[in-house]
Amino acid sequence: MQTNETQSQSKTQTQSQNGPGGPREDTHLADSGTALDRASAWALAMDGVTRRYGRGGRAVHALRGVDVRLPHGSFTAVMGPSGSGKSTLLQCAAGLDRATSGRVTLGGQDLSGLGERRLTRLRRSRVGFVFQSFNLLPTLTAEQNVLLPLRLAGVRPDRTAAARMLARVGLADRARSRPGELSGGQQQRVAIARALITRPDLVCADEPSGALDPATAEDVMGLLRQAVREWGATVLMVTHDPAAAAWADRALFLQDGLVVDEANGWDAPEIAARMRSMRTTRAATAAAEVAA
Ligand SMILES: Nc1ncnc2c1ncn2[C@@H]1O[C@H](COP(=O)(O)OP(=O)(O)OP(=O)(O)O)[C@@H](O)[C@H]1O
């Protein structure tokens, strides 16, 4: 595993330095770090991460010691039963939530010691987000939506980069359309262009195909995979859908706040079977607890 990841990391470094909007050296984002720490670090490293909500007897242990390492230019799916901690993992990885203990390192930057302002700045420049419900601003055009992360990061909006990104996601001719004039699949393509425009260390995708019909979902998953393979993006995706997870290089299976298994290159039926076995184990454990 480690060996494969290391190989994959070195193989993809060149790709990631020539990401969606052009070479890394063009990046002028605040807090973006040096080329060296980007090149030498994992895109994301989570070491012994726990997240507890509340205290005492009523505390919920959403993550109970998670270790995850994502090489640059990799596509990882996170699966698991409802309540297993998938969203918590994604939010801790993205710096939207703070680990109770353990360490989260994004593009070589340890998030644990950062104050709120620096964390927000880092998130804006180093993390892209893709949501189930697209989350585009309805009053802005596709181009303006794509440029929004640059504006928020305090970078001069680069319309040429936006045009290039929209062309890459197949929407060169829809730059002036507003979200309401686009189909669901087209809106998700705009959202993916928006997530990639800052050339982030990590793209966090939360059920990106969840609101789409199966054929459109396939298109969107294919686009995410293209972003990883051809443009060097690193994607961490939470999904309930084995067909979506099968597009990833690797699937992590979460149960009760722990990564209990991982699959490399599995197809959808294999992933679905693993999910069913997790539910069966869980039901048997619950039944045994009741009996005891
Ligand atoms: N803000 C919060 N306060 C208290 N408990 C929380 C909070 N957020 C999550 N939890 C709890 O942490 C556990 C993990 O939640 P999480 O949302 O990460 O699971 P999930 O695997 O994403 O679930 P789903 O698939 O249903 O979205 C659950 O028991 C949940 O109730």
**Complete DSSP assignment for 144-159:** HHHHHHHHHTT----H
Distances in Å between the Cα of 141 and the Cα atoms of 42, 136, 137, 159, 212 are 34, 9, 8, 12, 21
Q: What is the pTM of this model?
A: 0.85
244 is in which domain, residue-wise? 32-291
20 located within any domain: no
Q: For residue 90, give the ligand 1 atom closest to its CA.
A: 18
Poorest-pLDDT segment among 16-20, 36-40, 207-211: 16-20
Q: Is residue 113 very low, low, confident or very high in pLDDT (cuts 50, 70, 90)?
A: confident
Nearest CA to ligand 1 atom 31: 83
Q: Is residue 142 very low, low, confident or very high in pLDDT (cuts 50, 70, 90)?
A: very high
Q: Is 84 in the pocket of ligand 1 (CB under 6 A)?
A: yes
∠ CA 97-112-33, nearest 5°, is: 105
d(CA 70, CA 1): 11
Residue range 42-59, pLDDT digits in tens = 999 999 999 999 998 889
Q: Is 86 in the pocket of ligand 1 (CB under 6 A)?
A: yes
- Number of domains comprising the chain: 1
143 located within any domain: yes
10 located within any domain: no
Nearest CA to ligand 1 atom 10: 62
The dihedrals phi and psi of 204, each to the nearest 5 degrees, come to: -100, 120
194 located within any domain: yes
Q: What is the CATH number of the domain that holds 163?
A: 3.40.50.300
216 located within any domain: yes
Q: Is 3 in the pocket of ligand 1 (CB under 6 A)?
A: no
113 located within any domain: yes
Number of H helices, E strands in the chain: 10, 10
ipTM of the complex: 0.98
27 located within any domain: no
Q: Is 255 in the pocket of ligand 1 (CB under 6 A)?
A: no
Q: Is residue 283 very low, low, confident or very high in pLDDT (cuts 50, 70, 90)?
A: low
71 located within any domain: yes
Q: Is 50 in the pocket of ligand 1 (CB under 6 A)?
A: no
